[in-house]
Amino acid sequence: MPLRESLAALGLGAVTSLVSAAARLGLIGPAASVRLAAGAGPALAAAVDAAVSGPARRVFGSWFPELEIAAARHPSLPFRMFAT
């Protein structure tokens, strides 16, 4: 898969995951979810352009420690963070 399309797919996955989490937490409703995901298109395209036009770097993946810690704590919490 070409680099530009791969980055766009990765970005779309991140946007979808974040919007989905916000909806499951009850922070936004279904209509706002659609608006946010659709509105992220221009910013996502700009991010892909910036990544492709910049100098080549070795990237070994991404890690969001706050999200990993929250996910690890989820089963032992006295309440559930997600309504699913």
Domain count, the chain: 1
In a domain, 24, yes or no: yes
Return the structure tokens found at 79: 């309440």
pLDDT tens digit sequence for 16-69: 999 999 998 899 999 999 999 999 999 999 999 988 887 776 655 566 777 778
Query: What whole-number distance in Å separates Cα of residue 38 and Cα of residue 15?
Result: 10
Q: Are 35 and 44 in contact (CB under 8 A)?
A: no
| Residue 38: predicted pLDDT | 93
In a domain, 83, yes or no: no
In a domain, 81, yes or no: no
| Residue 23: predicted pLDDT | 92
Note down the domain range covering 39: 3-76
Alpha-carbon separation of residue 65 from 30, 51, 83, 84 (angstroms): 28, 23, 23, 23
In a domain, 82, yes or no: no
In a domain, 10, yes or no: yes
In a domain, 30, yes or no: yes
